Amino acid sequence: MVLGIVIALLAGLFISTQGSINGLVGNRIGVTPTVIVPVAYQILLYSTALLMNRKWWTELTAVTQYPMGWGYLLISALLGIGIMITITMSMMRIGPLLGLAIIVLSQLGMSMIIEHFGWFQQTQRAISLNRVLGLLMFVIGIWFFVRK
């Protein structure tokens, strides 16, 4: 559990930093190159790592054994592009604090819906008054962050 929390905290740090950098660059050169260049770098880095690690090849072939594995991963890739575009654009227009606060709010809301319906084989957890109040408190927190 502790390791999962640490990894989640790191993810938040990465997202905030990447979004801020992309917003800075995107304001100067536009969204398209700001999204395409990091993706090209990622492809290059992952391809190099894949060539150097035989175990990863074995893991990669396991995708074919999972029903809809390639399809789900294609959807994931498209969502990843959408994530980079929307984070970059939100940073460019409303800045990192408000942008990421709203992004996290929408992530919490969507995650609550995914858990409620058990989509993607997630454990079902009903939407409760406590969860809705938690989201409402988050909205109030955002309001305190941005009010002058």
Q: Could you tell me the pLDDT band of residue 10, with boundaries at 50, 70 and 90?
A: very high
0.75 exceeded by pTM: yes
> What ranges in 30-148 are assigned the alpha helix state H?
31-52, 54-61, 69-94, 96-117, 129-146
Write out pLDDT tens, residues 88-121.
Answer: 999 999 999 999 999 999 999 999 999 999 998 8
pLDDT of amino acid 63: 83
What stretch of H or E contains 2? helix 2-29
Instruction: Check residues 59 and 86 and name the one with the higher pLDDT.
Output: 86
Distance CA 104, CA 101 (A): 5
Tokens of 147: 């009010």
Distance CA 134, CA 145 (A): 16
Over residues 3-11, mean pLDDT: 92
pLDDT of amino acid 105: 95
* Residue 132 near residue 123 (C-beta atoms within 8 A): no
Neighbours of 56 (CB within 10 A): 13
What does each C-alpha distance from 61 to 64, 73, 76 come to in angstroms? 6, 13, 18
Q: For residue 131, give the amino acid letter.
A: R
pLDDT score of 6 more than 80: yes
Write out pLDDT tens, residues 12-70.
Answer: 999 999 999 999 999 999 999 999 999 999 999 988 988 888 888 888 888 888 888 88
